[in-house]
Amino acid sequence: MYDITVIGAGITGTFIARELSRYDLNILLLDKENDVANGTTKANSAIVHAGYDAAEGTLKARFNVRGNKMYDEICRDLDVPFKRVGSLVTAFNEEEMETIQCLYQRGITNGVPDMKILDKEEVLAMEGNLKEDIKGALYAKTGGIVGPWELAIALAENAVENGVELRLNSPVTAIKKVEKGYRVSAGEKTYKTKVVINCAGVYGDQIDQMINEKTFEILPNRGEYNLFDKSVGDMVKTVVFGCPSAAGKGTVILPTVHGNLLLGPTADPIDNKEDTRTTFDGLTSINDHAKATLKQIGFQDVITSFSGIRAKVARKDFIIEKARGREDFINVAGIDSPGLTAAPAIAEYVVEMVQASATSLEMPLREKENFNPRRTPSIHFMDLSTKEQEKLIAKDARFGRIICRCENITEGEIVDVIKRKAGATTLDGVKRRARPGSGRCQGGFCAPRVMEIIARELDVDMKDVLKDGKGSYILTEKTK
């Protein structure tokens, strides 16, 4: 019998599972996919928002501002890339200047520190590549960028190191109320649990409906992106937002934590929650925004395009509540933007909810003495000094063999991410953890080598090594 079962190992579920792992509890983390962070968490803008966007008084506003503050310590503990580069909301006319004034006021109400309205000269001094007809911008010093899937993977690793049981390839298909809890059917197995926490992203409504009739509906909304090569990663230094409109926060141009340039997203309501295609119209619209905003931008440097799906709800706020008043079933749903930023604060709040129900659930929350907030640090060979590199190679020759020549990733680093807790089993799983295939050639050269390493380390046939999700086979037979 588990005390708590968390459904969904995206940023929300992994943060909650890791926060709960501070306590002496039996925790199960389930995900339908073959890796952590394979839903919305792997495809978003990766911005740690300052907090002036969300409407005053909402959970979004509250958890955005609180979550933002929590990022430094968490990313330090978990060895995850995070940079407070600051953000700008640009205004190119008087109407947009009025909008940024409203955002500034909302930011003040929401408790956002260190904001300033900049005039034209100040903006251009900060971002020299913005067009000269800019009128001003809202600057927020606390805006940042993070590696979203790296963070979720690190949280899962740390949660497992602290005793959480992670079960992948476990789609929850039924939840039955039993005495003192639930019986959760996932994959071939059934688990008994006292409490269920629903963090299933765009499928949050389906999980909720497994115990009763419909109470909310997830309205999927797609955002498309272009990712540029590192050679143009310094086109902007801060997170540069267009002025927001009814459709959303506005298109963003930003550096990534790994030095690329990211452009997007669109905001399109869609019917199919799996429809992650990119479209000519969508990519054209974001490219047009970049052309209208920047003096210099070249689309020959786009190395890949992708899209992610927002889990919107009619309520226009996060749904974080006991399902139909039940103490033992918590919905954490409708976690669209700024869900990534808010996730640490959401986790804190959910643990408070569990704590408040502890007596009636007969599940006291006792802090563990041996909780370790730090995960085993990962190895970044190229960040080491020559001396450290030589020492590492002398200890393990696999660090002397470069597999990915675009990103300079060694065999040793790839083996490390396969062997870790919550380790990689697929080509993209290795890419998300150690970055081979993230560079200009997008895996054109290193993918076969990485597949060989996965097959060797996991003792599986090369033909069974997947690109990413279930069924994404790459090879059919040997040719030479």
Ligand X SMILES: Cc1cc2nc3c(=O)[nH]c(=O)nc-3n(C[C@H](O)[C@H](O)[C@H](O)COP(=O)(O)OP(=O)(O)OC[C@H]3O[C@@H](n4cnc5c(N)ncnc54)[C@H](O)[C@@H]3O)c2cc1C
CA pair distance 353, 322, nearest whole angstrom: 9
Task: State which residue, 337 or 410, has the beta carbon closest to ligand X.
Answer: 337
For the chain, counts of helices (H) and of strands (E): 13, 22
- Which stretches within 145-215 are classed as H helix? 148-161, 204-209
Question: One of 49, 258, 289, 380 is an active-site residue; which one?
Answer: 49
Nearest position to ligand X, beta carbon? 339
CB of 432 to ligand X, least distance (A): 13
Q: Are 229 and 300 in contact (CB under 8 A)?
A: no
CB of 13 to ligand X, least distance (A): 5
CB of 85 to ligand X, least distance (A): 13
CA angle 423, 424, 427 (to 5 degrees): 170
CA pair distance 22, 186, nearest whole angstrom: 25
Across 157-190, b (16+ Cβ under 10 Å) vs e yields bbbbbbbbebebebebeebeeeeebbebbbeeee
Q: Is 6 in the site for ligand X (CB under 6 A)?
A: no
Q: What φ, ψ does residue 105 adopt, rounded to 5°?
A: -60, -40
Q: Is 31 in the site for ligand X (CB under 6 A)?
A: yes
Q: Pull the structure tokens for residue 264.
A: 């997007």
49 belongs to the catalytic site? yes
> Which H or E element spans position 241?
strand 239-241
Q: Is 143 in the site for ligand X (CB under 6 A)?
A: no
Q: Is 34 in the site for ligand X (CB under 6 A)?
A: no
DSSP string, 318-371: -EEEEGGG-TTEEEEE---TTHHHHHHHHHHHHHHHHHHTHHHHT----B-TT-
Task: State which residue, 46 or 100, has the beta carbon closest to ligand X.
Answer: 46
Task: State which residue, 101 or 279, has the beta carbon closest to ligand X.
Answer: 279
Q: Is 308 in the site for ligand X (CB under 6 A)?
A: yes
**Residues 103-122: x/- map of binding to ligand X (CB under 6 A)?**
--------------------
Q: Is 81 in the site for ligand X (CB under 6 A)?
A: no
Task: State which residue, 37 or 454, has the beta carbon closest to ligand X.
Answer: 37
Residue type, 243: C
Q: Is 255 in the site for ligand X (CB under 6 A)?
A: no
Size of the site for ligand X (CB under 6 A): 40
CA pair distance 334, 68, nearest whole angstrom: 19
Q: Is 171 in the site for ligand X (CB under 6 A)?
A: yes
CB of 305 to ligand X, least distance (A): 13
Q: Is 256 in the site for ligand X (CB under 6 A)?
A: no
Across 399-437, b (16+ Cβ under 10 Å) vs e yields beebbbebbebbbbbbbbbbebebbbbbbbbbbbbbbbb
Among the residue ranges 33-41, 99-107, 283-291, 366-374, the one whose residues contact ligand X (CB under 6 A): 33-41
User: Which DSSP letter does residue 267 get?
Assistant: -
CB of 56 to ligand X, least distance (A): 18
Nearest Cα residue to 142 out of 255, 66, 253: 66
Among 7, 70, 160, 253, contact with ligand X (rule: CB under 6 A): 7
**Residues 317-356: x/- map of binding to ligand X (CB under 6 A)?**
------------------xxxxxxx---------------
Q: Is 18 in the site for ligand X (CB under 6 A)?
A: no
Q: Is 38 in the site for ligand X (CB under 6 A)?
A: yes
Task: State which residue, 168 or 414, has the beta carbon closest to ligand X.
Answer: 168
> Which H or E element spans position 286?
helix 280-293
Task: State which residue, 431 or 447, has the beta carbon closest to ligand X.
Answer: 431
User: Which DSSP letter does residue 33 get?
Assistant: S
CB of 16 to ligand X, least distance (A): 9
Q: Pull the structure tokens for residue 225.
A: 């992106």
Q: Is 410 in the site for ligand X (CB under 6 A)?
A: no
Q: In the window 211-230, what residues touch ligand X (CB under 6 A)? A: 223
CB of 4 to ligand X, least distance (A): 15
Task: State which residue, 151 or 297, has the beta carbon closest to ligand X.
Answer: 151
User: Which DSSP letter does residue 379 get?
Assistant: P
Among 21, 34, 40, 90, contact with ligand X (rule: CB under 6 A): 40
**Which chain residues interact with ligand X by CB under 6 A?**
7-13, 30-33, 38-41, 44-47, 49, 171-172, 199-203, 207, 223, 265, 308-310, 335-341
The residues assigned a catalytic role are 49
